[in-house]
Amino acid sequence: MHPRVEPGLALGIASILLGLIAFWVALPPLTTRTAAVPIAIGLAGLGAGLWSWRHGYTRLGWSGVCIAIIGLLGGLLATNAAVGNLEVVITWSALFAATLRFATPLTFAAIGGLFSERSGVVNIGLEGMMLMGAFFGVYGADKTGSWVLGILIGMLAGAALALVHAAFSIHLRSDQIVSGTAINFLALGITGYVYIDTYGNEGTPGDLPQVPDVHLDWLARIPPEGLGSFLERTFGQLNLLVWLALATVVLAWIIVFKTAVGLRIRAVGEHPRAADTVGISVYATRYAAVVVSGALAAMGGVYLSLGFVHSFTENMTAGRGFIALAALIFGKWHPFGALGAALLFGFASAVAPRLENVEGWATYGTLFQALPYVLTLIAVAGVIGRSIPPAAIGRPYEKQ
């Protein structure tokens, strides 16, 4: 049919091959011992896979991406194999646990963005809402002495800021991106102001109530010796909020795709006029969706401050709200897709500080911090066009 080889097809095949090679170089007879080689080959495979996916070879491209990632990880694992298997298990379980931890704030915020964007309101302000949660979670927990109330106060703060965004983008018909940007400035100003006003230059107190970890010791008793301890080390000591994030994803999927409420949200986001005609209140639905999105994004922030680093610093969200937004797009506005993307970006964040420990790479130190952002950029560039947003997104609705 095609007189010449399609670039997408060729790249798709190349990505699969590169993935295999990434693993193979670390095995006998070559037994490469520098981690850089499988990483470089694996990343090349990843890029080729994404490209092929963008050129219409969805399944082939995806397979390439998966194989490249597995090949990269397998290759990395194999380069370290000589160090001793137990140590590798520990390192990998720590890496996976860190991936989950880094993915949690992104997941909360991405699911929040899902509600807002599915109802047709772009939410660039996720970052700011997250920051509100991060600060007011700490503030609430500190003042009330209870982490439960801290979470609630944080979510309330995020929801309040979301209400402003909702009012401006729904009733006042602001440009939603401009309004979201304003929300981010406001959050930065408000949290910074109250932070300095309350805690001065001493920082948040060290004895903050902490969100507890969930200990699953029984995981260690799962039969094959290595697997049990691997599972225990990966999933056995995670924060309560990490599990809550995973539950939120499932819940969001049920609400958005399996209930009447979700149908309304999606209808309002796809064709508000039609939804209005059948008696759905477009404004009320959008308000509710945006406020929920603020509360969820704030939850991500609360996790960051109360559940993860146990303190607050100014602008601590560091662009995570935007990464969450990218995760949402990468995940095609679907809860499980968003979770997958959040895990991918979380993995990049988790792996970045570890790369400094690779022999001879310590001097590149801070350079690795750019990894999650670069990966997000590549992912967004690779997926757009294949990922179709809700039809009425970004459009203010005018009642007739």
Partner 1 sequence: MSDAAPPPEPRPASDPEAMPSMAARLDLYQRAGGVITPVLTALFAFFVGGLVVLFTTGKNPIDTYKAIFNGTGLNWFFPWVRGQERFTAALNLQQTLIITTTLIFVGLAVAFAFRCGMFNIGGQGQYIAGMIAASQVGVAMPDLPHVPHIVLAAGAGALAGALWAGIAGILKATVGAHEVISTIMLNWTALWIGSYLVGFQGPLQDPAQESVPVTKQISQGAKLDVFWGDPILQGLHIGFFAAIGCLILFWVVLNRTTLGFEVRAVGFNPEAARYSGISVGRNYFLAMAISGAFAGLAGGVDLLGWLFRVDLTSVQVASQVAFIGIAVALLGRNTAVGIFFSALLFGALLNGTSTRNLDPTIFAPELASNLTLIIQGLVVLFVGADLLILYLWRARLKLRRKRPEAVTGA
Decide if residue 173 touches partner 1 (CB under 8 A): yes
CA distance 77 to 59: 27
60/323 with CB nearer partner 1: 323
Integer CA distances (angstroms), 322 to 124, 134, 166, 319, 382, in order? 7, 15, 18, 5, 17
- Which of 30, 83, 193, 227: binder of partner 1 (CB under 8 A)? 193
| Assigned token pair, 254 | 């049920």
262/389 with CB nearer partner 1: 389
Rounded least distance, CB 361 to partner 1, Å: 12
87/314 with CB nearer partner 1: 314
Binding mask of the shown chain, residues 333 to 372, with x at each position contacting partner 1 by CB under 8 A: ------------------------------xxxxx-xx--
Given the rule CB under 8 A, which of 9-17, 56-64, 256-264, 315-323 is the region that contacts partner 1? Answer: 315-323
Binding mask of the shown chain, residues 196 to 235, with x at each position contacting partner 1 by CB under 8 A: xx---x----------------------------------
- Which of 96, 135, 136, 322: binder of partner 1 (CB under 8 A)? 322
In the window 379-398, what residues touch partner 1 (CB under 8 A)? 380-382, 384-385, 394-396, 398
- C-alpha R_g of the chain: 22
20/325 with CB nearer partner 1: 325
CA distance 181 to 384: 22
Rounded least distance, CB 364 to partner 1, Å: 7
DSSP 173: -
DSSP 362: G
- Which of 30, 82, 178, 251: binder of partner 1 (CB under 8 A)? 178
For residue 239, the cross-strand partners are: 213
Rounded least distance, CB 393 to partner 1, Å: 9
Tally of CB atoms within 10 A around 296: 31
Contact 161, 321 (CB under 8 A): no
Binding mask of the shown chain, residues 98 to 137, with x at each position contacting partner 1 by CB under 8 A: --------------------------x-------------
CA 12 to chain centre: 26
Binding mask of the shown chain, residues 51 to 80, with x at each position contacting partner 1 by CB under 8 A: ---x--------------------------
3-state secondary structure of 124: coil
Question: 57: part of which helix (H) or strand (E)?
Answer: none
Smallest CA-to-CA distance from 248 within 104, 98, 99 is with 104
Contact 175, 400 (CB under 8 A): no
Helix axes 240-258, 335-355, angle to 10 degrees: 150
79/119 with CB nearer partner 1: 119
Rounded least distance, CB 120 to partner 1, Å: 11
Smallest CA-to-CA distance from 255 within 207, 297, 292, 221 is with 292
For residue 387, the cross-strand partners are: 384
In the complex, the residues that contact partner 1 under the rule CB under 8 A are: 54, 124, 164, 167-168, 171-175, 177-179, 181-190, 192-194, 196-197, 201, 273, 283, 318-319, 322-323, 325-326, 329, 363-367, 369-370, 373-374, 376-377, 380-382, 384-385, 394-396, 398-400
